């Protein structure tokens, strides 16, 4: 099976819209997807040429767009790769957070405060729960604008922690 993805982001979004029945007109697609009418037309023509979408003429002025089995397969392939990439990235971020907490733990710290209400704060809480240290204590404060890890009064922005390579 050829695992290369043959479509770009706009084309993938168009395939989703066609599959869900939102493709009543190119103008409505452009508004729904927040891309230009010309880009919708260009992408639709490319997808039709590749065999991912077929058209069915309703009358002289109206066309219905239908997803082909080949188009469905390509959309699912792109969705699968995107999901795999997301899972891999979340794993990397969680690992970076756990590495920071382990470094602090080895330096003698046992009490941690997670401040913030964003996804990084949520992921930090999960990362701490998954560590096998029984004596780590943490509490969550959903306040402040940026997600931070507070250790012995020092604030570590979570964005800086997860950005480490």
Q: Is the pLDDT of residue 43 over 90?
A: yes
Q: For residue 59, what pLDDT is reported?
A: 77
Q: Is the pLDDT of residue 149 over 90?
A: yes
Q: For residue 165, what pLDDT is reported?
A: 67
Q: Is the pLDDT of residue 67 over 60?
A: yes
> How many angstroms separate the CA atoms of 111 and 109, rounded?
6
Q: For residue 164, what pLDDT is reported?
A: 80
Q: What is the pLDDT of residues 80-90, one digit of tens each?
A: 999 999 999 99
Q: Is the pLDDT of residue 119 over 70?
A: yes
Q: For residue 1, what pLDDT is reported?
A: 45
Mean pLDDT value across the chain:
90
pTM for this predicted structure: 0.71
Q: Is the pLDDT of residue 141 over 70?
A: yes
Task: Give the chain's domains with CATH numbers.
Answer: 9-67 (1.10.10.10), 89-162 (3.30.360)
**Residue from 73, 69, 76, 116 nearest 97 by CA:** 116
Strands 63-67 and 111-115: unpaired
Strands 111-115 and 137-141: parallel
User: Where are the extended beta strands (E) located within 42-146?
Assistant: 53-57, 63-67, 111-115, 137-141
Q: Is the pLDDT of residue 9 over 70?
A: yes
pLDDT > 90: what percent of the chain?
67
Q: Is the pLDDT of residue 5 over 70?
A: no
């Amino acid at each position: 099976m050829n695992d290369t993805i043959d479509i770009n982001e706009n084309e993938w979004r168009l395939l989703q819209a066609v599959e869900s029945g939102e493709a009543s007109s190119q103008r409505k697609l452009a508004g729904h997807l927040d891309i230009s009418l010309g880009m919708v037309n260009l992408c639709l023509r490319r997808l039709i040429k590749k065999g991912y979408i077929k058209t069915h003429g309703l009358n002289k002025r109206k066309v219905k767009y239908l997803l082909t089995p080949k188009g469905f397969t390509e959309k699912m392939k792109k969705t699968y790769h995107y999901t795999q990439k997301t899972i891999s990235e979340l794993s990397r971020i969680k690992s970076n957070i756990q590495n920071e907490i382990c470094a602090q733990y080895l330096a003698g710290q046992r009490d941690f405060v997670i401040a913030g209400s964003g996804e990084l704060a949520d992921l930090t809480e999960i990362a701490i729960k998954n560590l096998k240290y029984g004596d780590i204590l943490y509490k969550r404060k959903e306040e402040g604008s940026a997600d931070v890890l507070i250790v012995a009064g020092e604030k570590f922005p979570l964005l800086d922690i997860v950005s480490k390579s």
